[in-house]
Chain A
Amino acid sequence: MSAAAGATIDAVVDQVDIVADQVVSLVLRRADGRPFQPWQPGAHIDVHVGDGLVRQYSLCSSPDTLDHLRIGVLHVPDSRGGSKAVHALLAGTPLTISEPRNNFPMRESRRYLFIAGGIGITPLIPMLEAAEAAGKEWTLVYGGRSRNTMAFAQQLEDRYGPDRIRIIAEDEVGRLDLDQILGMPRAHMLVYACGPGGLLGAVEERCMGWPPGALHTERFVASTLGAAAANAPFEVELARTGTTVTVPNDKTILEAVEEVGVRVLSSCRGGLCGTCETPIISGEPEHRDAVLSEEDREAGEVMLVCVSRAAAGCPRLVLDL
């Protein structure tokens, strides 16, 4: 995970709760007692976990209450320090963090389907709240190994009811039945999925039958469970044009490149048709489209710039544009 950019804040751990097997929730306040800056669903903070390590954790509190932030952290036995260090924290411990930043912004639509795998539930919690407050039609399907490993499952069910919140515990009813969950695309429905790569790969494959652009994913890689880095800003150098543009968290490469007047052919603008395929000269992409083959993804020679971005830890892509 990349190092934190920008200013840090001195915070204090206000409360530590065990919210599920191997999952703790931390409530953080600013050491100076002031409120945090406003943030939107999908946001995360950097947490300096010691030894120079920085981890990103999605916020799962409400954007309406800025006097504290809540994060949920899964303990991963083989992780390189991050979650272990966080699990060792006690109430009252000082902690260095960043202001909230949003790399997984929620786009406006008429309907939402949220899919969470395990600790991937965290960034979705504020999204559910926002969808509910805006009177949208929405459901959450939340899968995990067993109920006692699934953080916040009971609270969510109590708050929104079992019609909206579908808890799928593998030891009770088996795995998420994605064919059923994603078998019936709805018009103007966005799918926000968050969880481990295996789940998201399966979700992506099924979304080939959905309209372009319906799916938004946040991959929680095994080593950094609880981290959110989806849309970190990065730079794109346009080799043929000879300019460099910054791609901010709320824009795609395509949008950023078009803004400086460089032509890229596009059609669906949702990672499905392949029209915007662009050769990569250097840098590592994170493929977010639904259609490139495994070989293409691994080769990393082309990318669909209407959805895909730079991989975490790759600050600069050089494209043949």
Chain B
Amino acid sequence: MTVTTHEANVLGEDPFETANLLDPYPFLGRLRDAGAVSYLESTGSYAVAGYQEVYEVLTDFETYISSGGLGPRDIRKDSGWRPPSILESDPPIHTVMRRALTGVINPSTVRALREPFTPPAVELTEQLAQRRTFDAITDLAEKYPLRVFPDAVGIPDVGREHLLPYGNMVFNAFGPENYIFKQAFAQGDEHAAAVMRNCQRENLDDVGFGAQIWKRVEDGLITEQQATLLVRALLSAGVDTTIFGIGNTLSVLARYPEAWAQLRDNPKLAKFAVDEALRLESPFQKFHRTVAVDTVLGGVHLPAGAKVLVFLGAANRDPRKWGENADEFDLNRNASGHVAFGMGLHQCVGQPIARLEMEIVLQQLLQRVATIEPDGAPVPILHNVLRGFESLPVRITAA
């Protein structure tokens, strides 16, 4: 069989340029329109932004591998800044790590978290409902996951202040070594050392996810080093993403008062609102895969070793998948199939936890807040791969 191929459309624009990071969607629209697969001169990688191509790359984990790292460099050649995580592994190494993790984090274990996760949300939203204005990021989105998630993993109180800076390093390293990267890594060694300390068995409590992961070492499923790396994966992947998930959801709902009213009437829709917000404002916007063997995607030949930048956030707004109103929030839309949590082999392990946290915060807020609207312009965060806000001032009326 002969496959006719054409050259990738070469794009001079840089997705990591400040303007494109602060307001990604105009660029993502141009990228999608440029063709199924583009070549980005600025990063020397290929780029996919349409739903179909993104889906193909995510599900064909043999052709588009993760062990080359999620950043622009191939960490197989050029070792990365830290030992590879589950996210940066392929089968068979990925397989045992994933089995161990799924055995610990799954619908059954996460359901039990609803009880401990609820009171902090009640407390935070009760306080905020008494105010006329607050910052939905610094007063809520940033506070809540830090109140509940580290306890669920079972890490000590000391050193928790390193979680956010560490997450910032991990995710920014999925982009180029630009000034954002350098800023994130300014006190890198200190943050990394503090987080690694909290991954050790002796520093974890006896009941949290951390301890459960270490139990799998006794079962012989994983090594001690893998257990450390898995706890590290939770601590690095589980905080920033959820903070942005909560913040992005509120940023959207503040702009759609009818949706808020509908949710107040029917709070059971909260989880659908969260899902649609994750589609529209996906916290994890993009990462790289590495081409393992020469292949053809969207009519473009991709050579082995090439990097492909996968734009989840663009796939989630592809009009061919979501219709002409893809850029709009629609509470009645069935958003299932969005790739905000990835798709296939590496699909987010923490998904049930993230959804639980987001749903609880929203439900508690809905109980106490009758209306919510922007109170000034939100300030988007400057980040290589995550989408979120540094500040989101809102004005509310209490219920």
Shortest Cβ distance from residue A108 to the other chain B in the assembled complex, whole angstroms: 14
When chains A and B are docked, how far (Å) is the Cα of A273 from the Cα of B107? 7
**Per a CB cutoff under 8 Å, which of B91, B109, B351 touches A209?**
B91
Main SS of the interface on chain B?
A: helix
Shortest Cβ distance from residue B112 to the other chain A in the assembled complex, whole angstroms: 10
Q: Which residues of A contact B95 (CB under 8 A)?
A: 182-185, 209-210
Task: Decide: B351 and A267 in contact? CB cutoff 8 A.
Answer: yes
Contact with B along A191-212 (1 / 0, CB 8 A): 0000000000000011011111
Q: Which residues of B contact A302 (CB under 8 A)?
A: 107
Task: Decide: A292 and B92 in contact? CB cutoff 8 A.
Answer: no
**Per a CB cutoff under 8 Å, which of A208, A263, A273 touches B351?**
A273
A136 at the interface (CB under 8 A from B): no
- Residue of B whose beta carbon sits closest to that of A240: B268
Task: Decide: A267 and B347 in contact? CB cutoff 8 A.
Answer: yes
Contact with A along B37-78 (1 / 0, CB 8 A): 000000000000000000000011111000000000000000
When chains A and B are docked, how far (Å) is the Cα of A210 from the Cα of B271? 27
Q: Which residues of B contact A296 (CB under 8 A)?
A: 107-108
- Residue of A whose beta carbon sits closest to that of B269: A263
Task: Decide: A277 and B107 in contact? CB cutoff 8 A.
Answer: yes
**Per a CB cutoff under 8 Å, which of A184, A208, A267, A290 touches B91?**
A184
Task: Decide: B351 and A293 in contact? CB cutoff 8 A.
Answer: no
**Per a CB cutoff under 8 Å, which of A188, A258, A263, A272 touches B102?**
A272
Contact with A along B74-117 (1 / 0, CB 8 A): 00000000000000000110111111001100111111000000
B186 at the interface (CB under 8 A from A): no
Shortest Cβ distance from residue A114 to the other chain B in the assembled complex, whole angstroms: 19
Main SS of the interface on chain A?
A: loop
Task: Decide: B92 and A184 in contact? CB cutoff 8 A.
Answer: yes
Contacts known (A212-B347, A263-B334); A206 close to B271, Cβ less than 8 A: no
Task: Decide: A295 and B108 in contact? CB cutoff 8 A.
Answer: yes
Task: Decide: B99 and A211 in contact? CB cutoff 8 A.
Answer: no
When chains A and B are docked, how far (Å) is the Cα of A76 from the Cα of B213? 41
Task: Decide: A209 and B334 in contact? CB cutoff 8 A.
Answer: no
B355 at the interface (CB under 8 A from A): yes
Shortest Cβ distance from residue B265 to the other chain A in the assembled complex, whole angstroms: 15
A82 at the interface (CB under 8 A from B): no
Task: Decide: B59 and A188 in contact? CB cutoff 8 A.
Answer: yes
A268 at the interface (CB under 8 A from B): yes
Q: Which residues of A contact B59 (CB under 8 A)?
A: 187-188, 211
Bin the interface of chain B by size. Answer: 35 or more
**Per a CB cutoff under 8 Å, which of A188, A269, A274 touches B107?**
A274
**Per a CB cutoff under 8 Å, which of A267, A291, A304 touches B341?**
A267
Task: Decide: A291 and B102 in contact? CB cutoff 8 A.
Answer: yes
Contacts known (A263-B272, A291-B106); A273 close to B352, Cβ less than 8 A: yes
When chains A and B are docked, how far (Å) is the Cα of A273 from the Cα of B352? 7
Q: Which residues of A contact B110 (CB under 8 A)?
A: 274
A18 at the interface (CB under 8 A from B): no
When chains A and B are docked, how far (Å) is the Cα of A302 from the Cα of B96? 27
A239 at the interface (CB under 8 A from B): no
Shortest Cβ distance from residue B324 to the other chain A in the assembled complex, whole angstroms: 21
Q: Which residues of A contact B63 (CB under 8 A)?
A: 187
Q: Which residues of A contact B97 (CB under 8 A)?
A: 209
**Per a CB cutoff under 8 Å, which of B60, B103, B334 touches A187?**
B60
Q: Which residues of A contact B2 (CB under 8 A)?
A: none
A222 at the interface (CB under 8 A from B): no
Shortest Cβ distance from residue A213 to the other chain B in the assembled complex, whole angstroms: 9
Contact with B along A254-267 (1 / 0, CB 8 A): 00001000010111
**Per a CB cutoff under 8 Å, which of A183, A185, A274 touches B352?**
A274
**Per a CB cutoff under 8 Å, which of A205, A266, A267, A292 touches B99?**
A205
Q: Which residues of B contact A186 (CB under 8 A)?
A: 62, 91
Task: Decide: A265 and B336 in contact? CB cutoff 8 A.
Answer: yes
Task: Decide: A293 and B336 in contact? CB cutoff 8 A.
Answer: no
Interface residues of A (CB under 8 A from B): 182-188, 205-206, 208-212, 258, 263, 265-269, 272-275, 277, 290-293, 295-296, 302, 304
5 closest A-B pairs by beta carbon, nearest first, are: A274-B107, A209-B95, A293-B108, A291-B106, A209-B99
- Given contact pairs A184-B92, A186-B91, A263-B334, a sample of 20 additional A-B residue pairs in the complex whose CB atoms are under 8 Å apart: A183-B91, A183-B92, A183-B95, A183-B96, A188-B59, A208-B98, A209-B99, A265-B275, A265-B336, A266-B336, A272-B102, A273-B107, A273-B348, A273-B352, A274-B107, A274-B351, A275-B351, A292-B107, A293-B106, A295-B108
Q: Could you list some 5 contacts between A and B, CB below 8 A?
A: A187-B60, A206-B99, A212-B347, A273-B348, A274-B110
